[in-house]
Amino acid sequence: MKTIGTISILILLMLSYSCRKNPTVQNPVYAGKYDDTYNYIKFSPVKNIQIKWDSLNFYGFGSDSIDLDQDGIFDMIFELALINEDSLHLIDEFTFPLPYFAITPKNQLDLSCYYEYFYVGLNQTVKVEFLESLSYNDRIDTITNWLSSTDGKQLMWDTNPGFFIDPSFGKWYDAVGNYYLGIRINGKYGWIEIDNANRFDPLIKSYAFTH
């Protein structure tokens, strides 16, 4: 009887140790997918960024915001800067910033990102951070690269990200159609759906993140 009791205690200790060592893994999160365990919002009509042009109709700028968790505080700010392409020959590129699309995360919001490296001479490279464009069903909760609200404004795309000789404009510049930006808010994973058929008029369609 004592032997059986000792074995039982050992089994319980092993199970306890196993549970501590292998915590429960959360359900996977995939771009574009959601169920009743998610906070899901669909914009109707879709949200687009209204552009205000300067007096010469050369340079346009617009911004918009989203309160993801609907607590009355904006969690992200979108910025879209454009140039009237019919007037390019009249514009001084050092006076007017070249077109870009960027997001500033707030309030413990993280955005999925990736890095590109550019050679600048003398065996030196510089790193540029762009926000990642995800396809439908791409997994989000296993992403390792994130930018937080402490990192400031982040580029979706930029036609001049640092005056490099042959720069990349970022994946979102060529991502024509519906794509997703991975988000992480207070440890909860999710996504934002953006229709990028016209990169100069992106449409924010919906978002979702886990409860």
Tens digit of pLDDT for each residue in 105-164? 999 899 999 988 877 778 777 788 899 999 999 999 999 999 988 888 999 998 876 655
Q: Is the pLDDT of residue 3 over 50?
A: no
**What per-residue confidence (pLDDT) applies to 166?**
64
pLDDT tens for each residue of 34-76: 999 999 999 999 999 999 998 888 889 999 999 999 999 999 9
By residue count, the chain amounts to: 211
**Other CB atoms closer than 10 Å to residue 34's CB: what's the count?**
17
Report the predicted TM-score, pTM, of the whole model to 2 decimal places: 0.80
Alpha carbon distances (Å) from 135 to 146, 167, 177, 195, 200: 17, 23, 10, 12, 20
